[in-house]
Amino acid sequence: MQNNSFEYLKEEFGLKDSTIELYKKVNEKVKERFSEIEETAGYNQAKVLKAFQNNRISYAHFGETTGYGYDDMGRDALDKVYAEILGAEDAMVRHNIVSGTQAISACLFGVLRPGDVLASVVGAPYDTMEEVIGIREGDYDDMGSLKDYGVSYRQVDLTDQNKIDYDSIIELLKSEKIKAVLIQRSRGYDWRDSLTVEEIGNIIKTVKHVSPETICIVDNCYGIFVETKEPTEFGADLIVGSLIKNAGGSLALSGGYIAGTAECVRKVGYRLTAPGLGKHVGASLGMNRNMFQGLFMAPHIVSESIKTAVLCAAMFKELGFEVCPEVNSARSDIIQAVKLKTPDNVIKFCQAIQKGSPIDSFVTPEPWDMPGYDSQVIMAAGAFVQGSSIELSADAPIRPPYTVYFQGGLTWAHAKLGILMSLQKLYEKGIVKEL
């Protein structure tokens, strides 16, 4: 931003000199980190372009189909493009997958059978998976969870240092037959670093060494295009993600992707539609162009989001808050956690982010009983696609240690402005002190 830009921000958005000076100070410290992020984006953009070219994507692939969708060439081509990008044998990309949770659920129900055992080997799964598995306390019987279908669950927690407990994983695999392991790449609502693709690869290698038949499923939400490789390239049997996060590039209106071995994807396809139909049906309803173009844009937009997360970490670290990951830590997802210590601070932070959004900036978000969560959740998402986490947003469960999870940003120019505006609001509320 040039000086005239700062003057405009002061006049039109009420930013104080102290806010702008903090930005200038912090921005100088993270410039080198930004260069690394852009280099990764360049690599991933080339990978995406090559997949488009190799699969001879044309305007004809954007055509609309209805009904059964048997002849949807765009849908089938998109599956092939994703499979190539992710280094997988096969893939399914569907606009009617409503969330990452549904995509993961389809994978679990697709490969598990009554009497099988599922294990999470990186601690507790994300909140919304608890009801899917059947481990949340309360009256959740007969919802059709894995537990209802006779699938047992085991869990290997992280060490006290939030590291992978390889010894316990090996012990579990030797003690009983584990049909599938679930590996969550992102931090979710936990105070830990996201798993790098290399770390995920080490987990998979460990599992396969002890139990070669065990299916390794990776929750890849928030992670695609953050690094230059994906878990499927390190042996994952299935990886799963949402299109309103990274992969959709903000243009996909809904949906999710599933990729992995041909056999596993085939089984998941039968679960997602019906046995015998699988991935061969499903009309695209004119959504193909959005999903193709969003995928093409995704490497760049993910890099904008990561730069935003780094700036957020640097600014709040400067103000004395605990952040995770640290400013210069390796990143494997787009999420930045900031420990704000009180429920009111969390609420005010999310409300401040909302004020800096292009859509519904006049709205004041409040905590509510969101389906799938056992705590009230507040979500700030003034987004073009509702709930899109690749757009500038922040959310948090209202529970100790009162941490907010910040992510997204379609453009660096807007995202940093959103952070500055939120910081200004926090100054005004007395949550942070001016330097």
Q: Are residues 283 and 301 in the same domain?
A: no
Q: pLDDT digit string (tens) for 294-339? A: 999 999 999 999 999 999 999 999 989 999 999 999 899 999 999 9
- Specify the CATH number for the domain of residue 359: 3.90.1150.60
Bigger pLDDT: 435 vs 429: 429
The verdict on 267 and 309 lying in the same domain is no
pLDDT of residue 167: 97
* pLDDT, tens only, 32-89: 899 999 999 999 999 999 999 999 999 999 999 999 999 899 999 999 999 999 999 9
Q: Are residues 189 and 231 in the same domain?
A: yes
Q: Is residue 420 part of a domain?
A: yes
22 lies in the same domain as 168: no
In terms of pLDDT, which residue wins out, 215 or 128?
215
Q: Do residue 271 and residue 301 come from a single domain?
A: no
The predicted pLDDT at position 1 comes to 46
Residue 433 predicted with pLDDT over 80: no
Question: Can you give the pLDDT at residue 310?
Answer: 95
Does residue 392 sit within a domain?
yes
Mean pLDDT of the chain: 93
Q: Let me know if residue 73 belongs to a domain.
A: yes
Instruction: Say if 402 falls within a structural domain.
Output: yes
**Are 279 and 305 found together in one domain?**
no
Q: Is residue 434, in this structure, part of any structural domain at all?
A: no
| Per-residue pLDDT at 187 | 86
Compute the half-sphere exposure of residue 266: CA atoms within 13 Å on the CB side of its CA.
5
Token pair listed for 98: 């409503």
For residue 95, the enclosing domain spans 61-287
* E-strand stretches of 157-250: 180-184, 215-219, 238-242
Residue 370 lies in a domain: yes
Distance in angstroms (rounded) separating the CA atoms of residues 67 and 302: 34
Residues found in the chain: 435
Find the helix packing angle between 17-54 and 73-86, rounded to 10°.
110
Per the domain annotation, does 435 fall within a domain? no
The pLDDT assigned to 207 comes to 98
Q: Do 89 and 178 have their domain in common?
A: yes
Does residue 431 register a pLDDT over 90? no
Number of domains present in the structure of the chain = 2
Q: Is it the case that residue 7 has pLDDT exceeding 60?
A: yes
Token look-up 């959005």 returns: 290
Last residue of a domain, one of 250, 270, 287: 287
Name the CA dihedral angle for 394, 397, 399, 400, rounded to a multiple of 10 degrees: -50
Name the 3-class secondary structure at 377.
strand
Q: How far apart are CA 104 and CA 238, in angstroms?
A: 9
Question: How confident is the model at residue 3, as a pLDDT?
Answer: 62
State pLDDT tens for residues 147-193. 999 999 999 999 999 999 999 999 999 999 999 999 999 988 888 88
Segment 233-253 shows an average pLDDT of 97
Looking at the fold, whether 282 and 300 belong to one and the same domain comes out as no
232 and 192 co-located in one domain = yes
| Domain boundary pick from 257, 287, 317 | 287
pLDDT tens-digit readout, 130-153: 999 999 877 677 889 999 999 999
What is the side-by-side order of every strand in the sheet holding 256-260? 90-94, 256-260, 238-242, 215-219, 180-184, 117-120, 152-155
CA distance 224 to 246: 6
What pLDDT does 432 receive? 77
The one-letter code for the residue type at 246 is: N
Residues 305 and 421 in one domain: yes
Which pLDDT band, with edges at 50, 70 and 90, does 418 fall under?
confident
255 and 301 belong to one structural domain: no
User: The CATH number of the domain where 191 resides is what?
Assistant: 3.40.640.10
One domain for residues 229 and 330: no
Residue 211 lies in a domain: yes
Q: What is the average pLDDT across 106-124?
A: 97
Tens of pLDDT, residue by residue over 345-386, are: 899 999 989 988 999 999 999 999 988 788 899 999 889 999
Q: In the listed set 238, 254, 287, which residue is the last one of a domain according to the structure?
A: 287
pLDDT of 2 higher than 80: no
